[in-house]
């Protein structure tokens, strides 16, 4: 298959105003974005078009603007070849040969809604996309952005199980935005470049299931008392709602999500490409807790998740957060599984 062949990667360095092209033997991959014409899909595709590990970018959406988004991006002077696929009858072609399928398809929140309120609309979208992956590209790594993530990953997993092609290392819920936010907020508090901050955010992706492990942050947030630790934790847990409120009916986080989605996709691609030390948090099948899906740091490799790194030592406050998250996660997971197996 073309997407797994070794091809020369062209890297472009801007030096003294001139472009210098150099080649190195690296794998190149096909990435399919489902929901590519949306608020997340467009900027995510813009970022993926710049990724040197991407040879082919398949942009799928129901929206009539989809072919135009593809033509627009195809004019960027980066090597990835862009194709647009609009409408359900084009879905199979879009997915065929994909190494990675990123899914931001579905409706976003409006003020006053919870992520769970999106379930009824988004569940069938993710189910249908997972069925298409099973038919056309069963080895693809599926990264689900669509909310509620805690339930969507079990839906996709059950669909792939039914089709007999499930590999738990290849189905991920994208929780990277929680990590990105935690790094951004700690960077501001400490007065350092947020890119120099690292922190595991574990659990899931909604309210109390988002558990930032501030005790394991590097550097530690310069916060003097427990009250401030709890306020920062709450801010990270509720950061999605902060954006929903600020957008005042215009949707939820799109640009920071695109950034976070591109970061996780890059980690997946680097793993597929043979790097062995790429670590990101994501929400995956898990036996670490009573919740059968759980987010924490993972090592990525040639088959998707290569190693689950667990979540290390929690302090008493973090243990209490974990205790509160588990029943909610279990409920979200059961709802997703029931949707497919009803």
Pinpoint the alpha helices (H) of 86-215: 91-95, 119-136, 149-162, 176-190
| Residue 34 interacting with ligand NAD (CB under 6 A) | yes
Dist. CA 306–CA 285, nearest whole Å: 13
Q: Are 296 and 308 in contact (CB under 8 A)?
A: yes
Distance CA 45, CA 56 (A): 11
**196 near 247, Cβ under 8 Å?**
no
Do the beta carbons of residue 260 and residue 174 sit within 8 Å?
A: yes
User: Has 113 been labeled as part of a binding site?
Assistant: no
Is position 35 annotated in a ligand binding site?
Answer: yes
Residue of 177, 197, 298, 305 that binds ligand LMR (CB under 6 A): 177
- Cα 275 to Cα 207, 264, 270, distances in angstroms: 33, 14, 6
Give the nearest distance from C-beta 312 to ligand NAD in angstroms.
23
Note whether 280 binds ligand NAD by CB under 6 A.
Answer: no
Within residues 287-326, the interface with ligand NAD by CB under 6 A covers none
* Distance of alpha carbon 29 from alpha carbon 274, whole angstroms: 12
Q: Which residue has the tokens 């990675």?
A: 100
- Residue 96 burial class via C-beta count within 10 angstroms: exposed 0-12, middle 13-18, buried 19 and up: middle
Give the count of residues interacting with ligand NAD (CB under 6 A): 32
Number of residues lying near ligand LMR (CB under 6 A): 12
How many other CB atoms are found less than 10 A from the CB of residue 153? 31
Among the listed residues 205, 214, 258, 321, the single catalytic one is: 205
Residue 63 interface partner, choices ligand LMR, ligand NAD, none, CB cut-off 5-8 Å depending on type: ligand NAD
Among positions 95, 133, 177, 199, the unique one binding ligand NAD when judged by CB under 6 A: 177
The reply on whether position 105 binds ligand NAD by CB under 6 A is yes
In whole angstroms, how close is the CB of 182 to ligand LMR at the nearest point?
A: 12
**Annotated binding-site residue? 178:** no
90 binding ligand NAD? (CB under 6 A):
no
Neighbours of 323 (CB within 10 A): 10
Q: Does 243 bind ligand LMR (CB under 6 A)?
A: yes
Q: Does 105 bind ligand LMR (CB under 6 A)?
A: no
**197 C-beta neighbours (distance < 10 Å), count:** 22
CA angle (171 as vertex; 170, 176 as ends), nearest 5: 110
In this complex, which beta carbon is closest to ligand LMR, that of residue 129 or of residue 253? Answer: 253
Shortest reach from residue 258's CB to ligand LMR, in Å: 11
Q: Which does 39 bind (CB under 5 to 8 A by kind): ligand NAD, ligand LMR, none?
A: ligand NAD
Q: Are 54 and 272 in contact (CB under 8 A)?
A: no
253 interacts with ligand LMR by CB under 6 A? yes
Annotated catalytic residue 75:
no
Residues 6+ apart with CB under 8 A from 139: 99, 167, 170
Residue 189, classed as helix, strand or coil, is: helix
Q: Which range of residues in 24-32, 60-68, 313-321, 330-338 is near ligand NAD by CB under 6 A?
A: 60-68
State the binding string over 190-209 for ligand LMR (x if CB under 6 A, else -).
Answer: ---------------x----
CB atoms within 10 A of CB 195: 9
Residues identified as active-site: 205
Known binding-site residue numbers for NAD(+):
35-41, 61, 122, 145-147, 257
Enumerate binding residues for ligand NAD (CB under 6 A).
Answer: 34-35, 37-41, 60-63, 104-109, 118, 122, 125, 145-147, 149, 174, 177, 205, 251-254, 257
Instruction: State the residues that interact with ligand LMR by CB under 6 A.
Output: 108-109, 115, 147, 177, 205, 240-241, 243-244, 252-253
């Amino acid at each position: 298959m073309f997407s797994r062949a070794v091809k020369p990667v062209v890297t472009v360095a801007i030096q003294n105003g001139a472009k210098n092209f150099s080649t190195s033997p690296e794998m190149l991959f096909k990435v399919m974005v489902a929901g590519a014409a949306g608020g997340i899909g467009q900027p995510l595709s813009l970022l993926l078009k710049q990724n040197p590990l991407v040879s082919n970018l398949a942009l799928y959406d129901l929206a009539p603007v989809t072919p135009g988004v593809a033509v627009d991006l195809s004019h960027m002077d980066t090597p990835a070849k862009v194709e647009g696929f609009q409408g359900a009858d084009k879905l199979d072609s879009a997915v065929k040969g994909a190494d990675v399928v990123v899914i931001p398809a579905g409706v976003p929140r409006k003020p006053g809604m919870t992520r769970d309120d999106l379930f009824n609309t988004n569940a069938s979208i993710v189910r249908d996309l997972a069925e298409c992956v099973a038919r056309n590209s069963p080895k693809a790594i599926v990264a689900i952005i669509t909310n509620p993530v805690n339930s969507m990953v079990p839906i996709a997993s059950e669909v792939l199980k039914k089709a007999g092609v499930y590999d738990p290392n290849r189905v991920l819920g994208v929780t990277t935005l929680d990590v990105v936010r935690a790094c951004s907020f700690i960077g501001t508090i400490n007065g350092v470049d947020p890119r120099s901050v690292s922190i595991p955010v574990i659990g899931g992706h909604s309210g109390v299931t988002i558990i930032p492990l501030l005790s394991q942050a590097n550097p530690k947030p310069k916060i003097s008392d427990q009250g401030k630790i709890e306020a920062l934790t709450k801010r990270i847990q509720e950061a999605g709602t902060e954006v929903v409120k600020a957008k005042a009916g215009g949707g939820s986080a799109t640009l920071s999500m695109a950034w976070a989605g591109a970061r996780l996709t890059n980690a997946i691609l680097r793993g597929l490409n043979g790097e062995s030390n790429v670590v990101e948090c994501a929400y995956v099948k898990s036996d670490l807790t009573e919740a059968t899906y759980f987010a924490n740091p993972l090592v990525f490799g040639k088959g998707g998740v290569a190693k689950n790194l667990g979540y290390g030592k929690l302090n008493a406050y973090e243990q209490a957060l974990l205790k509160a998250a588990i029943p909610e996660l279990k409920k979200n997971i059961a709802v997703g599984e029931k949707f497919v197996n009803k």
